[in-house]
Amino acid sequence: MDHSARAFWLRAPGVGEIRPVAVPEPGPGEVAVRTLYSGVSRGTETLVFSGGVPESQFAAMRAPFQDGEFPGPVKYGYLNVGVVEHGPPALLGRTVFCLYPHQTRYVVPATAVTPVPDDVPPARAVLAGTVETAVNALWDAAPLVGDRIAVVGAGMVGCSVAAVLARFPGVRVELVDVEPARAVVAEALGVGFATPEQAAGECDLVVHASATEAGLAHSLGLLGYEGAVIELSWYGDRPVSAPLGENFHSRRLAIRSSQVGGLAPARRARRSATERMALALRLLADPVFDALITEESRFEDLPRLLPRLAAGQAPALCVRVRYGQG
């Protein structure tokens, strides 16, 4: 097998580069994977790229196959789709998803990859990690038939949550974002859309994914009596204020965090992380998720792409990264 590869590294906050790396020979129980596509998880990866991971969260924020340490140099990422070139017969030649950084080839334990179903195009499968986050959030939220639900923040995670919620019977789903152009994505996902000032209130649940203080405040304002905000945003090292005065207590409102690093308590005794990822990949058989991939870039362009995303110069949701043969 080819033992040479290239990987994207954050050399220092705000500066990325492509580096050559050596790939070891796969041992028993390991697979060698050639990457086809990876995805840029815009919120988290731009935060990492900008050096915004607080020191207290260095351990919690480690990606499964991260090399280096925050704030850099570090090799970071977790949306990778490739083909198994060496490994157990059951996986040989299969397209798989792995929580691996942006790298052309790599070797991992066979248990670290999940086969992509035949009816899911590899180019769409880069969304698996984000859809897995949405699945976990909805296990935490436990929506009921007929619920009124708002999803505040139409980024990758918010749109994934809305896409899954669109399948729930009788549920009113409204995607809320300050950018009116996100209405096109909402229509493609089959859900309603509103800017914050137009959003419908009296919600049973609000899923907040805008990663802004204003978005959290607005989410609380959309709740009905005893409603709950499911907080999916991660703010890095930014302090955040929440309006817990006025009617927060009298209306018995709640804010609950949800994070994909831990299985939702409602399913922890009966599901594994492997089963959760497999479910996310099965959901991606629906072509509606293609609406979340709004830009494609070459692997070689990552050092120029990440600064542009971190500076807010691109309105993309998921940027899919395309690999050649190297």
The CATH number that applies at residue 83 is: 3.90.180.10
Give CA–CA dist 232/219, Å, rounded: 12
The total of other beta-carbon atoms located within 10 Å of residue 29's CB is 10
Domain identity same for 34 and 148: no
Identify the pLDDT of residue 261. 83
Note down the domain range covering 77: 4-127+284-322
Domain identity same for 100 and 171: no
| CB 82 within 8 Å of CB 23 | no
DSSP string for residues in 276-317:
HHHHHHHHTTSGGGGGGEEEEEEGGGHHHHHHHHHTT----S
Categorize the per-residue pLDDT at 325 as very low, low, confident or very high, splitting at 50, 70 and 90.
low
Domain identity same for 48 and 166: no
Q: Which of 257, 274, 304 is the last residue of a domain?
A: 257
Domain identity same for 103 and 137: no
Answer yes or no: is pLDDT of 277 > 60.
yes
Domain identity same for 98 and 150: no
Identify the pLDDT of residue 60. 84
| CB 37 within 8 Å of CB 122 | yes
Domain identity same for 105 and 185: no
Identify the pLDDT of residue 278. 95
Residue 304 located in a structural domain: yes
Domain identity same for 56 and 152: no
CA dist 294 → 14, 71, 127, 185, 255 (Å):
23, 28, 12, 10, 31
Residue 266 located in a structural domain: no
Answer yes or no: is pLDDT of 151 > 80.
yes
Residue 72 located in a structural domain: yes
Residue 138 located in a structural domain: yes
Residue 20 located in a structural domain: yes
Categorize the per-residue pLDDT at 326 as very low, low, confident or very high, splitting at 50, 70 and 90.
very low
Residue 268 located in a structural domain: no
Domain identity same for 312 and 226: no
Residue 148 located in a structural domain: yes
Q: Which of 240, 257, 274 is the last residue of a domain?
A: 257
- Count of structural domains, the chain: 2
Domain identity same for 246 and 293: no
pTM, to two decimals: 0.92
CATH no. for residue 174? 3.40.50.720
Give CA–CA dist 149/224, Å, rounded: 10
Rounded to an integer, the average pLDDT of 201-214 is 96
Identify the CA nearest to 280 among candidates 134, 95, 173.
134
Domain identity same for 87 and 17: yes
Q: Which amino acid is at 6?
A: R
Domain identity same for 172 and 237: yes
Domain identity same for 236 and 117: no
pLDDT tens, 69-81? 999 999 999 999 9
Residue 269 located in a structural domain: no
